[in-house]
Amino acid sequence: MLVSAAFAALLILVVIAYYLVPRKARCPECGSHREEGPLCPSCGWIFEDDEDDDGDGDEPEVIDAWEDR
């Protein structure tokens, strides 16, 4: 009984540590660590830059069905 409780506690600690440790972003193509720029130094994958989003085209146009045409 004590062994199974210790194993359960160890398993819970491992899962908590796995999700709480911050990880550096990796390239989806080759798996290498992402550098500062938008280009992967290993394979040339181009990352989308979240800061350069101007918002054009993100929201769909709302059409009012009851509007007079």
- pLDDT tens per residue across span 26-42: 888 888 887 777 888 88
Domain presence at residue 30: yes
Helices (H), the chain: 2-20
Q: What is the pLDDT along the chain (69 residues), one digit of tens a residue?
A: 899 999 999 999 999 998 898 877 788 888 888 777 788 888 888 877 655 555 555 677 777 777 665
Question: Which residues touch 39 (CB under 8 Å, ≥6 apart)?
Answer: 45, 46, 47
Domain presence at residue 34: yes
Say whether pTM exceeds 0.75.
no
Domain presence at residue 41: yes
Separation between Cα atoms, residue 22 and residue 16, nearest integer Å: 12
Overall domain count for the chain: 1
pLDDT score for 61: 72
